[in-house]
Amino acid sequence: MAQLLTDAEIQEQASGLSDWKIEGSQLQTSRTFKDFIAAIEFVNKLVKPAESVGHHPDIEISYNKVKISLTTHDAGGLTQKDFDVAKLISQID
């Protein structure tokens, strides 16, 4: 099982992810699109990074807004896998 990160490790890793914020035991980011179709097209682009790491975001879709949350459910908090997926998602345009 992936090892929980310490607070210092979390802050260190989060400093390199300007589009993400730490909310409790989650990494979160949100994006807004021109419409629902564009939002779903973006959500479909999340499959590749998630499957490549074997680690999956929680996704909230509200019309043209997509909220992505990452936490390691098996560990009950943030692990390196969360940051690995977040970095990949940040590269999606």
Ligand X SMILES: C[C@H](O)[C@H](O)[C@H]1CNC2=NC(N)=NC(=O)C2=N1
Q: Mark 15-34 with x for binding to ligand X (rule: CB under 6 A) and - for no binding.
A: --------------------
| Minimum CB distance to ligand X, residue 71 (Å) | 6
CA distance 50 to 66: 16
The answer to whether residue 56 forms part of the interface with ligand X (CB under 6 A) is: yes
| Minimum CB distance to ligand X, residue 55 (Å) | 4
Sign of CA dihedral 32, 20, 58, 81: positive
Given 15, 18, 54, 93, the residue binding ligand X (CB under 6 A): 54
Residue 86's alpha-carbon distances to 8, 42, 63, in angstroms, are 18, 14, 22
CB 10 within 8 A of CB 77: no
CA 29 to chain centroid: 7
The answer to whether residue 55 forms part of the interface with ligand X (CB under 6 A) is: yes
21 or 35: CB nearest ligand X:
21
Q: Mark 70-89 with x for binding to ligand X (rule: CB under 6 A) and - for no binding.
A: --xxx---------------
CB 39 within 8 A of CB 65: yes
Residues at the interface with ligand X (CB under 6 A): 54-56, 72-74
